[in-house]
Amino acid sequence: MEQITTREARACDAQRIVEMIAHLAQHHDDLAQIEVEDLVFLCFGPTPWLKLIVAEREGQIVGYAALQKKVQLQFARRLMDVQHLFVDAAMRGQGVGRALMQSAAEHAALHRCAGLTLGVMAHNLHAQGFYREIGFEERETGGAIQMMRALPLQCAHSNP
């Protein structure tokens, strides 16, 4: 068996990544609405919003991590947030998630980040255990809630 390798995603990987996003959404009883063109715009367009890292085995993409820059301005602290971590079901338990998270940590360190952050569903005890095994600790949110104001969307291909 060939070892797992990781690399930065390329626009030509978008179709496969969109398929995996759909699987992750389904796992969370959600329906992915992202198209290949959306992912290309978000990650490989003129102002990339996310950094994608893919894991490969035998030349096939078997997982991905989506990273977003984050800052705690009051502390002048850079962080990197892991928005998504996905590993094909057939590849789970074979080091793919660990390899992706190691690459995410290296990417964050390269950008002088103080750490990696992520959110995990309260009922997803398996994922929580995995993150603890690789050094993550639960942090108190201070009772904060997230709020959002919806804005009218423009076509993904228009200028931001």
Summarised one tens digit per residue, pLDDT across range 97-114 is 999 999 999 999 999 999
Q: Does domain 5-133 have CATH number 3.40.50.12500?
A: no
- Cross-sheet strand order for the sheet of 77-87: 5-8, 51-57, 60-72, 77-87, 115-118
Q: Are 81 and 117 in contact (CB under 8 A)?
A: yes
Confidence check: pLDDT of 155 > 80: no
pTM over 0.75: yes
How confident is the model at residue 75, as a pLDDT?
94
Segment 87-102 shows an average pLDDT of 96
The predicted pLDDT at position 2 comes to 75
At residue 1 the predicted structure's pLDDT band, cuts being 50, 70 and 90, is: low
Q: Where are the domains of the chain?
A: 5-133
Report the pLDDT value the prediction gives residue 142, as an integer from 0 to 100: 73
Q: What are phi and psi of 92, to 5 degrees?
A: -65, 145
User: Tell me, what's the pLDDT at 139?
Assistant: 86
Q: What SS3 state is found at 65? A: strand
**How buried is 42 (Cβ within 10 angstroms: 0-12 exposed, 13-18 middle, 19+ buried)?**
middle
Is the pLDDT at 60 greater than 90? The verdict is yes
Q: Which residues pair with 85 in a beta bridge?
A: 65
Q: Is the pLDDT of residue 157 over 90?
A: no
pLDDT tens-place string over residues 112-136: 999 999 999 889 999 999 999 999 9
At 143 the pLDDT is 74
